[in-house]
Amino acid sequence: MKLSRRTGKVMPSLKDAIRSSCLKDGMTISFHHHLRAGDYVLNDVLHTCTELGFSNLTVNASSIMACHTPLVEAIRAGVVTGIECNFMHASVGHAISQGLLANDVLFRTHGGRPAALESGTAHIDVAFIAASASDPEGNCNGKEGPSAFGSIGYAMSDAVHADYVIVITDHLMPYPLTDVSIPENLVDAVVVCDSIGDPDRIMSGTTRITRDPIGLLIADYTARAIEACGLLEDDFSFQTGAGGTSLAAAAYIGERMRKLGVTGSFASGGITGLLVDLLNEGVFKSLADVQCFDREAAASIRKNPHHVEISASRYASPQAKSTIVDRLDAVILGATEIGTDFSVNVHTDSNGMIMGGSGGHSDTAAGASLAIIAAPLVRARLPLIVDRPQTVSTPGKTIDLLVTQYGMAYNPKRRDLHDCLTGAGLPVFSIEELKEKAERLTGKPRLLKNEGRIVARVIGRDGDELDVIRAVHK
Amino acid sequence: MKLSRRTGKVMPSLKDAIRSSCLKDGMTISFHHHLRAGDYVLNDVLHTCTELGFSNLTVNASSIMACHTPLVEAIRAGVVTGIECNFMHASVGHAISQGLLANDVLFRTHGGRPAALESGTAHIDVAFIAASASDPEGNCNGKEGPSAFGSIGYAMSDAVHADYVIVITDHLMPYPLTDVSIPENLVDAVVVCDSIGDPDRIMSGTTRITRDPIGLLIADYTARAIEACGLLEDDFSFQTGAGGTSLAAAAYIGERMRKLGVTGSFASGGITGLLVDLLNEGVFKSLADVQCFDREAAASIRKNPHHVEISASRYASPQAKSTIVDRLDAVILGATEIGTDFSVNVHTDSNGMIMGGSGGHSDTAAGASLAIIAAPLVRARLPLIVDRPQTVSTPGKTIDLLVTQYGMAYNPKRRDLHDCLTGAGLPVFSIEELKEKAERLTGKPRLLKNEGRIVARVIGRDGDELDVIRAVHK
């Protein structure tokens, strides 16, 4: 009795765990992407599914990362025939764009994914949850152990909604784990492996402030625009991505808050060391963390009670009774392209090849009082602003302001911003003016029109189809 | 925009919140009992429902406490016609036993209640969740504020499964609350009131070690029996109730563990200051807390990361994929009566009047390796052991050992305990021998047989009907 209690749900191998799940051909398996470019788990599971002879599986992953190229092999072998995700790195995206996958990829958002699970639109048969620490009954977290990655927020929805939940860890701890992010009552099986990920790549190096003067200028304009709009007062809340310009904007916002003596309420999203510093300094009172972007964030969430782990549902689900994103004063987002109606593409590159996805882009844009696109007006000789983006990732009506190094343009529906911005001496143009400015630098780009078959569908956070992505033949 | 963000889901009054819920006659409203004998919330809600003219409501409360006598008035007025609960204090129980309620009370267990919600057997239309601290979006806990009561574990299932969730607090904190037990994504409305409970009665005074020599002797036997069974080794886990004898047993177990140099894994259940002391001293590594019984426990859960709040589901739901109770080495429980088949009554008194309920009794008995009933052989001139208890609250097959001041009896299915117990010099008898011993002291009790109509049904933790309770006419 005692012995089996100590063994709990631990399976001898991943193979045994998959067998115990009664996984069948045609079913959906799920993954989360907190291990980012260092994740071994998705690849290990697909390898094992291949060995076990499965076919026709659908992979529902919060994101497909650069390290997930073995997925391409699994598709070629017929093991995987469907993908649902919120983001897809070019390493897999290009293969999809070339028509590799039988079924259309379903792109959702970080909030739309849990919403689809909550409403039953999406279903997970077997969830594979990478945990940096687990006990033998599956009480687990991402905060302890050699592969610690911090928040496990995206996987919380999988644990609640999947029929069968397998926790995979490289750090088995005695029962009961005390810092529990996903509790045992939701977990069916536990697998102990040598390593769930490459620690050096789990926390990717994308999270440094840019040194590029153009990026710094955009960041400065962004911070000044937020202040000009009157948002930098006590209880200010905001989110940025982890790109260099976003981080520079966050740093500038912090500086302005210090100068104004303003104490912010919270910063949310993927959390970086820069935000941790602002928390520790008292510039913000708390962090709402669905994903840690770097080591500093992962270390902080483990020990600072004001650095709070949140589920994907609480972060952004339109099915939730309220969310963090709906409380945001400002969000700073990137774009590959932006249309003159302010609709944004973050899915495809200039050739129409898949190389990204919404992640929390659409969710935060919809929720925040001031949704800002901060991006260089020209990149690789291509203009940012186009008549209509290749792919609509985020509807234009949810974007309030575009900031570039040549000036900014507010969405006409936010005419109320005009006086604030110009009053602060900021360079304000119409989006058409900025478009012309770009085209004077780059020439008018040739209109690319893919006419291949549909390879992916972009599902808006509310569940409606926003756009489709078509095959590109090189 | 900013203003409404700060107001969040806060309703001007309880009346407004109830109106916003679209509550209708015949629906089910739910409550949790962490405020124990000090709770104002159930009474306030029933008062408001009466004012609003509701009728035919079912109250699903984790427990009905001594302070809930206004429920009797609400029943008389036809506002409430159904009750589902895991425990019912005599103050309401006696009225039920006299046939006051139109429908049968459904008694479940602390694990059976979340299981019924998870399986859909039970449904909550509107949950009323008393929280000692909440922010305007309903992120809440029981740990902060003037009415802090500690764990809010039983209410977690209500928050997940109810159609509409109203948080009632007397301590509104700025968004976002950081120590979140129930997150905003599950909450529809927030009501701020003057006080959710009487702080002096929230933490009742039942949690002192007995000074009664009979109780101390039973406690000593109990601790010695647990040691004799070989359970007092590293990673030992146990649970006791909050009665004086149980607490004395816990203290004796702590002493024995110290002497043996044993470090326990966890103690669970309703948590008392005594268990907090054992945690702080390092005798146990953690506490799994679904309910705090006293101030010391409520203070500890707020600050000690090894004092872990758990949901009712993780605690004991038979629908959960594993639970704390299934990991228990030993549990020490009380009894009003115990049958010669070891089945236990904790629902009715010697007259057959309702004065209790299973709470976690059946759940821990089913889960623990060694389930002990520790009780005096004779109470108020009535013998503990009877042929068949008035009410079967916990099936005999789940009880391993009975300990009284005159000696102990193991369940014949646990014949393996014989040598351990006698080897340790403990006084072992058959349950029939103990029964005779009691009857020599008290005389054979007159057999009471209630023939009134059914007033309550005892639902076992797995959902099957274990027994019925009939009306008693004085």
pTM for the model stands at 0.96
**Residue B362's pLDDT band (boundaries 50, 70, 90)?**
very high
Judge: A187–B322 Cβ closer than 8 Å, yes or no: yes
Q: Do A321 and B288 touch (CB under 8 A)?
A: no
Contact call for A186 and B321, based on CB within 8 A: yes
In B, minimum Cα distance to A323 occurs at B185
Residue A365 lies in a domain: yes
Residue B171 lies in a domain: yes
Q: Any idea of the CA torsion for A381, A385, A388, A393, to the nearest 10 degrees?
A: 100
Residue A324 touches partner B, C-beta closer than 8 Å: yes
Collect all residues of chain B within an 8 Å Cβ-Cβ radius of residue A185: 311, 313-314, 317, 320-323
Task: Classify residue B179 as exposed, middle or buried by CB count within 10 Å of its CB (0-12, 13-18, 19+).
Answer: middle
A194 and A225 inside one domain: no
Higher pLDDT, A301 or A246: A301
Residues B311, A183: C-beta atoms closer than 8 Å: yes
Chain B residues near residue A329 by CB distance under 8 angstroms: 2
Per-residue pLDDT band for A203 (boundaries 50, 70, 90) equals confident
* Interface touch A175/B8, C-beta < 8 Å: no
pLDDT score for B474: 62
Q: What is the dihedral of CA A173, A175, A180, A182, to 10 degrees?
A: 90
Provide the 8-state DSSP code for A413: G
3-state secondary structure of B367: helix
Q: Given the DSSP bridges, would you call strands A382-383 and A378-379 parallel, antiparallel or unpaired?
A: antiparallel
Q: Which helix (H) or strand (E) holds A428?
A: none
- The Cβ-side half-sphere exposure at B256, using a 13 Å CA radius, reads 22
Domain assignment present for residue A192? The answer is yes
pLDDT at B6 over 80: no
| DSSP H or E run through B326 | none
Mean pLDDT of B79-94: 98
Q: Could you tell me if A238 and A329 are in contact, meaning their C-beta atoms sit under 8 angstroms apart?
A: yes
pLDDT of B473 reads 78
pLDDT of residue B3: 42
B188: nearest CB among A137, A321, A329: A321
Whether B87 is in a domain gets the answer: no
Whether residue B270 lies within 8 A of chain A, CB to CB, comes out as no
| Cβ partners under 8 Å of residue B251, min gap 6 | B209, B219, B274
Cβ neighbors of A435 (< 8 A, separation 6 or more) are A340, A383, A385, A386
User: Does residue A174 sit in the same domain as residue A265?
Assistant: no
Tokens of B39: 């709770």
Beta-bridged to residue B386, according to DSSP, are: B339
Q: Taking CA atoms, what residue in A is nearest to B309?
A: A178
- In this complex, is the C-beta atom of B305 within 8 Å of any C-beta atom belonging to chain A? yes
Instruction: Answer whether A4 touches B (CB < 8 Å).
Output: no
The answer on A176 and A235 residing in a single domain is no
Q: Provide the chain B residues 368-397 that lie in CB contact (below 8 A) with chain A.
A: 369
A 10 A CB-CB count for B339 gives 20
- To the nearest whole angstrom, how far is the Cα of A27 from the nearest Cα of chain B? 21
Out of A1, A183, A327, closest to residue B5 by CB: A327
pLDDT in tens, B34-74: 999 999 999 999 999 999 999 999 999 999 999 999 999 99
A179 touches chain B (CB under 8 A): yes
Establish if A327 touches chain B: CB-CB under 8 angstroms: yes
Please tell me if residue B129 touches chain A, with a CB cutoff of 8 Å. no
pLDDT per residue over B281-308, tens digit each? 999 999 999 999 999 999 999 999 999 9
Instruction: Provide the mean pLDDT of chain A.
Output: 95
Asked which of A225-234, A424-433, B1-10 is least confident by mean pLDDT, the reply is B1-10
CB B388 within 8 A of CB B115: no
Cβ neighbours of A2 (radius 10 Å): 12
Best mutation target, B184, B303, B309, B400, to test chain A (most A CBs within 10 A):
B184
User: Quick one: pLDDT band at residue B2, thresholds 50, 70, 90?
Assistant: very low
B286 touches chain A (CB under 8 A): yes
Q: Are residues B387 and B294 in the same domain?
A: yes
CB contact under 8 A, A185 and B288: no
For residue A361, give the nearest of A87, A88, A60 by alpha carbon: A87
Same domain, B297 and B376: yes
At A2 the pLDDT is 42
Contacts of B404 (CB under 8 A, 6+ apart): B218, B221, B374, B375, B376, B377, B384, B434
Residues 6+ apart with CB under 8 A from B230: B420
C-alpha dist (Å) from residue B139 to B35, B39, B179: 18, 20, 9
Contacts for A17 with CB less than 8 Å, ≥ 6 apart: A11, A166, A189, A190, A191
Helices B273-281 and B244-260, axial angle in degrees (round to 10): 10
Residue B230 CA from chain centroid, whole number: 28
Those residues whose C-beta lies under 8 Å from the C-beta of residue B261, and which sit 6 or more positions away, are none
CATH number at residue B424: 3.40.1080.10
Residue B416 has pLDDT above 90, yes or no: yes
Hey, is the C-beta of B180 within 8 angstroms of any chain A C-beta?
yes
Of A241-245, B281-285, B343-347, least confident by mean pLDDT is A241-245
Place of tokens 């702590």: B254
Terminal alpha carbon distance of chain B: 62
Average pLDDT over residues A129-140: 98
Residue of chain B with shortest Cα separation from A4:
B327
In a shared domain, residues A197 and A320 = no
* Helix (H/G/I), strand (E/B), else coil: A361: helix
Residue A95 has pLDDT above 60, yes or no: yes
Residues A363 and A400 in one domain: yes
Rounded to a whole number of angstroms, the distance from the CA of B155 to the nearest CA of chain A is 16
Residue of A nearest to B326 (CA): A5
What's CA A4's distance to the chain center, in Å?
Answer: 39
The reported pLDDT for the residue numbered B5 is: 65
Probe site for chain A from B9, B185, B235, B289 (most A CB atoms < 10 A): B185
Cβ–Cβ contact A310 with B under 8 A? yes
Beta-carbon contacts of B303 under 8 Å, excluding residues fewer than 6 positions away, are none
Point out the least confidently predicted range of A235-244, B179-188, B264-273, B281-290: A235-244
**A192 and A271 part of one domain:** no
- Any A CB within 8 A of B23 CB: no
CB of B161 less than 8 A from some CB of A: no
The β-bridge relationship of strands B140-141 and B105-107 is unpaired
Average pLDDT over residues A49-65: 98
Cross-chain Cβ contact A327/B188 below 8 Å: no
Q: Are residues B270 and B325 in the same domain?
A: yes
CB burial of A214-239 (b: ≥16 within 10 Å; e: otherwise) equals bbbbbbebbbbbbbbbebbeebbbbb
Q: What is the distance, to the nearest Å, from the Cα of residue A311 to the centroid of all Cα atoms in its chain? A: 13
Question: Residue B203's pLDDT band (boundaries 50, 70, 90)?
Answer: confident
**Per-residue pLDDT band at A280 (split at 50, 70, 90):** very high
Residues B352 and B445 in one domain: yes
Chain A CB contacts of B305 under 8 Å are: 178-179
Nearest to B17 by CA among B234, A1, B8, A391: B8
**What is the DSSP secondary structure assignment for residue A270, as one 8-state letter?**
E
Cross-chain residue pair A286–B178, CB shorter than 8 Å: yes
Asked whether the beta carbons of residue B185 and residue A311 sit closer than 8 angstroms, the reply is: yes
| Residues B190 and B255 occupy one common structural domain | no
B207 pLDDT band (50/70/90 cuts)? low
Pick from B8, B266, B322: CB nearest A185: B322
Q: Does B3 touch chain A (CB under 8 A)?
A: no
Contact A321 B235 (CB under 8 A): no
Please tell me what DSSP assigns to residue A64: B
Cis ω for the linkage preceding B395 (within 30 of 0): no
Contact B265 A313 (CB under 8 A): no
Across the interface, of A9, A174, A178, the residue whose CB is closest to B322 is: A9
Looking at the structure, tell me whether residues A120 and A57 fall in a common domain.
Answer: yes
Cβ distance B137 to A8 less than 8 Å, yes or no, reads no
Task: Look at residue B90 and tell me if it is in a domain.
Answer: no
Q: With an 8 Å Cβ cutoff, are B286 and A138 in contact?
A: no
- How would you list the strands of the sheet with A80-85, edge to edge? A10-11, A189-192, A164-169, A126-131, A28-31, A57-61, A80-85, A105-107, A454-459, A465-470
Using a CB–CB cutoff of 8 Å, tell me whether B266 touches chain A: yes
Out of A276-280, B91-95, B116-120, B442-446, pick the least confident.
B442-446
Residues of A with Cβ-Cβ distance to B9 under 8 angstroms: 321-322
Spatial separation of the C-alpha atoms in residues B12 and A473, rounded to whole Å: 61
- Chain A interface includes B308 (CB < 8 A): yes
Name A379's bridge partners: A382
Instruction: Look up tokens 């007259």; give the residue.
Output: B351
In this complex, is the C-beta atom of B321 within 8 Å of any C-beta atom belonging to chain A?
A: yes
Q: Is A184 on the interface with B (CB under 8 A)?
A: yes
Name the closest residue on chain A to residue B304, using Cα atoms.
A178
ipTM of the complex: 0.95
Domain membership flag for residue B349: yes
Question: Which SS3 state, helix, strand or coil, does residue B200 take?
Answer: helix
Which token pair is A106? 């379903």
Nearest beta carbon to residue B308 from set A6, A8, A180: A180
Strands (E), A64-123: 80-85, 105-107
Nearest CA in chain B to A317: B185
Q: Are B337 and B344 within 8 A, CB to CB? A: yes
Query: In this complex, which of A187, A321, A369 lies closest to B185 when CB atoms are compared?
Result: A321
Residue B131 bridge partners (DSSP) = B169
Does A89 reside within a domain?
Answer: no
Minimum distance, in Å, between the CA of residue B440 and any CA atom of chain A:
39
Structural domain range at position A342: 213-449
Could you give the CA distance from residue A389 to residue A343 in angstroms, rounded to a whole number? 7
Residue in B with minimal Cα distance to A318? B185
Sign of CA dihedral B408, B413, B415, B420: negative
Q: How many domains does chain B have?
A: 2
Q: For B118-149, how does the pLDDT look when each residue is reduced to its tens digit (9 = 90+)?
A: 999 999 999 999 999 999 999 999 999 999 99
Q: List the structure tokens of A251.
A: 């740093």
Q: Which chain B residue has its CA at the smallest distance from A319's CA?
A: B185
B137 touches chain A (CB under 8 A): yes
Classify residue B419 as exposed, middle or buried by CB count within 10 Å of its CB (0-12, 13-18, 19+).
exposed
- Nearest by CB: A1 against B165, B180, B369: B369
pLDDT surpassing 90 at residue A334: yes
Does the residue B126 lie in any domain? Answer: yes
